[in-house]
Chain A
C-alpha cells in the first residue's frame, strides 16, 4: 500500500505568519492530492485538493503545490489566523479502488 508521511507533526506559528506542511507519498500512480482540516472534536473536511495535471492551486489564503517527480505535495497557509488552528491531513490516492492512507496529521497552532 501507499506510504504517506507528513512533516512537521506539530507546527506553532504567530498569527499573520505563513505555515507550510509537506506530504510525501510512495505510490507513483497517485493522481489525487487532497488536504483535510479537522478541528478539535469535529469531522475532517476537505479544504483544498489538486489533481496530477496541475502543479499548483490557490483558494484565497490556502494553496497546494505538487511535485510529482519527487512525490510530495505541500499545503501553504498565508496570513494565518487563530481559526486555522487544527489538525491537517493529506490523503494521496488514485483511481484504483485500493485502501486509503491518510498522513499522520500535522497539528497547527496559531498564537494570537
Chain B
C-alpha cells in the first residue's frame, strides 16, 4: 500500500456526462500529480498541484480541470465525456514540489465511458 488513496475504483458513465475523481496523498506529501493511462498505453502526465497551487501542466484537455484543497486532497473533474476518455486515471504524490523524487501512486480509478 503506497498510502495514496483514490476513489472511486471504478466509474461507468455515459458520453456527455461529468465525473469527479478524488485523490488523497500520503500523509505529509504536498504535491499531487494526475496521469491518464489508456489501454496498453503509457502514462500521460496531466497536471501537478503543490500545496494548493497549480505547479505544472501537461497534455490536459480543456474539458478537464483539477484542484487541490487546503487539506491537500485533490480532485480531477472530467466533463463532456467522450468515448476516448475511457482510461485508468492515476494520481501520485511526493513530499515536495520537485519532479526529481519518488512518485507514490494510488491504485487508480478506471473510467468507462459508454
Contact = CB atoms under 8 A, between A and B. Distances in A.
A69 interface: no
A7 to B, nearest CB: 14
Contacts of A93: 98-100
A1 to B, nearest CB: 8
A81 interface: no
| A interface residue count range (under 10 / 10 to 19 / 20 to 34 / 35 or more) | 20 to 34
Interface string B70-114: 000000000000000000001000000111111101111000000
Interface residues of B, number: 25
B2 A99 contact: no
A104 B44 CA distance: 9
Contacts of B107: 42-43
A93 B99 CA distance: 6
Nearest to A6: B42
A43 B100 contact: no
B43 A32 contact: no
Interface stretch (A15-23, A44-52, A60-68): A44-52
B42 A94 contact: no
Interface of B: 2, 33, 35, 42-45, 48, 50, 55-58, 90, 97-103, 105-108
11 contacts: A43-B90, A43-B106, A44-B103, A46-B103, A89-B43, A91-B103, A94-B98, A98-B56, A101-B45, A102-B43, A102-B44
Given A97-B99, A98-B56, 12 more contacts: A32-B99, A34-B103, A44-B103, A44-B105, A45-B2, A49-B102, A89-B43, A93-B98, A97-B56, A99-B56, A101-B45, A103-B42
6 smallest CB-CB distances across A and B, nearest first, come from: A32-B100, A93-B99, A43-B105, A102-B43, A99-B58, A100-B45
